[in-house]
Amino acid sequence: MARFLLKRILQSVLTVFGVITAAFFLVRLAGDPAVLLLPIEASAEDIERIRAALGLDQPLIVQYIRFLGDAVRGDFGDSLRQGTSAMALVLERVPATLELALTSFFVGIGLAFVLGILMRMTRVRWLRELITWIALGRQAIPLFSFGLLLILIFSIWLKWLPTFGRGTWQHLVLPALTLGTYELALYLRLFNASLASEQRLDYVRTAYAKGQGHLKVLLRHMLPNALLPLVTVAGINLGLLLGGTVVTETVFSWPGVGRLIVQSVSQRDFPVILAGTFLISVMFVIINLLVDILYGFLDPRVRMT
């Protein structure tokens, strides 16, 4: 088990290193932030003075080495726009992103669990097909379009829920539904496929032969084993939710990390972009590491890989 953990931790560190390295060089393609910080009529001397103050006049490899040295200490510099610590600005937005991502995650898993059990229990074929088509239809609609559709129905027409912002639980409903239902079709198909595979095994037939009811066999015997593939996919999707709330946060003006990064890209605020990318990548690999560890406990065969 120790070798398994060491291997996963090393992979996680290398992943974060690769992400921040790629982000460092990619943000340079957006242009010179010194030009954006100064008015249009600024002279070439003014631009060079700003570039020197920001350290942008040094060779790129020197900037990269200095960046890595600061990043190891958690220092990504100050925001070019707000003049405060870039990491502090990102950390202020983390609670909002975690709130949205975790709520969306449990909404998706909860719906998949309830609907999956219902599909296995019911003998009504049209009901199973209806649930499947609704889930597939939802996944076919992009997050941006689905979010606007929910706003149109529940905020503008029915006036039940607020349109945007963060404050009460009502502000969380529409963004969480938008994100949480996107992977519903994937969860349902994976869950039902796992249950169907388990149902053909000998231990399930033995449980039925002992006179146990269908619901008891499903929940007590089949469900624990059927959850193994779902744990892996759900864990990966949780990491994606933490880093992929950009569209939803933009649609609903949710003050999270994703929206901050989008705003920073348009402003060429390199320190905030890099700090946000670093933090999201760290959260992503930590979640995947925890999923690998959990899977290793649930299935000892994984520890041998």
CATH of the domain at 203: 1.10.3720.10
Flag whether 81 is in a domain.
Answer: no
Is pLDDT at 278 greater than 70 in this prediction?
A: yes
Flag whether 82 is in a domain.
Answer: no
Q: What is the pLDDT of residue 303?
A: 52
What does the pLDDT look like over 114-156, one tens digit per residue?
Answer: 888 888 777 788 888 888 898 888 888 888 889 899 999 999 9
At residue 261 the predicted structure's pLDDT band, cuts being 50, 70 and 90, is: confident
Residues 6+ apart with CB under 8 A from 177: 107, 150
Amino acid occupying residue 172: L
Across the chain, mean pLDDT equals: 81
Higher pLDDT, 145 or 227: 145
Higher pLDDT, 290 or 108: 108
Average pLDDT over every residue of 253-262: 86
Phi, psi angle pair for 182, to nearest 5°: -65, -40
Q: What is the pLDDT of residue 187?
A: 85
Question: What domain count does the chain have?
Answer: 1
Least confidently predicted of 2-6, 180-184, 286-290: 2-6
Flag whether 129 is in a domain.
Answer: yes
What pTM was computed for the model? Answer: 0.79
Flag whether 241 is in a domain.
Answer: yes
Flag whether 57 is in a domain.
Answer: no
Of 30, 23, 37, which is closest to residue 81 (Cα–Cα)? 37
Flag whether 85 is in a domain.
Answer: no
Least confidently predicted of 86-95, 245-254, 285-294: 285-294
What is the chain's alpha carbon radius of gyration, rounded to the nearest angstrom?
A: 24
Query: What tokens appear for 187 in the block?
Result: 């969860």
Flag whether 196 is in a domain.
Answer: yes
Average pLDDT over every residue of 23-49: 74
